[in-house]
Amino acid sequence: MSFIYKQHDDYSSPFDSSRCAANVAWGGRSVSFHQCERNKKLKPDQDGNLWCWQHHPDYIKEKREKEEAKWEQEKESQNAKWRRQRAMRNACEGVPTEMLETIKVKYLLNLR
C-alpha cells in the first residue's frame, strides 16, 4: 500500500491536499521522499485521502492480487514439472544406463 506523504523537515514541502497523497521516493529507490506530483483525476479512498490511479489502494490491491495469482500459477506449473521428473526418475530406476541411452536417442530421433 502507499504511504501518505508528510512534511518531514524544514526543507521538505508541506502536504498539498490538491495532489495525490502518496509518499514517493526520489528516483524510485532513494531514501528521500516527496509527495506524488499528480493532481488530476484523483480518487478518494474510504478515509477520504486522494490518490492518483497508480497510488490508489484499490489499484495496488488489484495489482498485488494479479501478481499473487501469477506466482500461484508458476508455482503449480513448477510443481507439476517436478512431479513429472520424479515419476520419470522412479520409472527409470533399475534400468541399465545403456538401455536408457538407447531409449533417449530413439526418443530424440522421433522428435525430429
The binding site for Zn ion (CB under 5 A) comprises 20, 22, 36, 38, 52, 55
Closest to Zn ion by CB, 20 or 49: 20
Grid cell 478518494 in the structure block, residue: 44
Alpha-carbon distance values, 28 to 24, 31, 34, 78 (Å): 7, 9, 11, 32
Count the residues in the chain.
112
Closest to Zn ion by CB, 39 or 79: 39
Grid cell 516527496 in the structure block, residue: 34
Q: Are 23 and 1 in contact (CB under 8 A)?
A: no
Taking the complex as a whole, how short is the minimal distance between the CB of residue 80 and Zn ion, in angstroms?
A: 40
Taking the complex as a whole, how short is the minimal distance between the CB of residue 72 and Zn ion, in angstroms?
A: 29
Closest to Zn ion by CB, 7 or 73: 7
Taking the complex as a whole, how short is the minimal distance between the CB of residue 41 and Zn ion, in angstroms?
A: 10
Quote the distance between the C-alpha of residue 2 and its chain's center.
Answer: 16
